[in-house]
Amino acid sequence: MFAWSSQARGFFSGIALPDDRSNSELVRCWYSDDNFKRLERAVMLAKQLSVLPINIALAYVLSHPFPAFPLIGPRTIPEFKACLAALDVQLSEQQMAWLDLRTD
């Protein structure tokens, strides 16, 4: 599977703020109560694992049992290098369920 927008147009990079509605496409596609809960959990897990929330988002795609190839869109070399840390994150089934709001 080729996961389009595996980084949620930057939603998990820290640019998403519930009160900022300036990016209408980001708001239309990603702004929901559930996604803000997922973002909160991604931030928490990222702190525990010493990575960025965007790495958790990419690791989430890569940690599924079926072959997935996340399509990413870094705009700079540093953004690309920051994404590489996701390759070192292996999420457990429990972490995946927690990130997907299937468990508390």
Q: Give Cβ neighbours of residue 29 (< 8 Å, ≥ 6 apart).
A: 5, 8, 9
**Tens place of pLDDT per residue across the chain (104 aa):** 787 666 677 777 766 677 777 778 778 888 889 999 999 999 999 999 999 999 999 999 999 888 888 888 888 898 889 889 999 999 999 999 999 999 99
Kindly report the pTM of this predicted structure: 0.85
Q: Provide φ and ψ at 81, rounded to 5°.
A: -60, -35
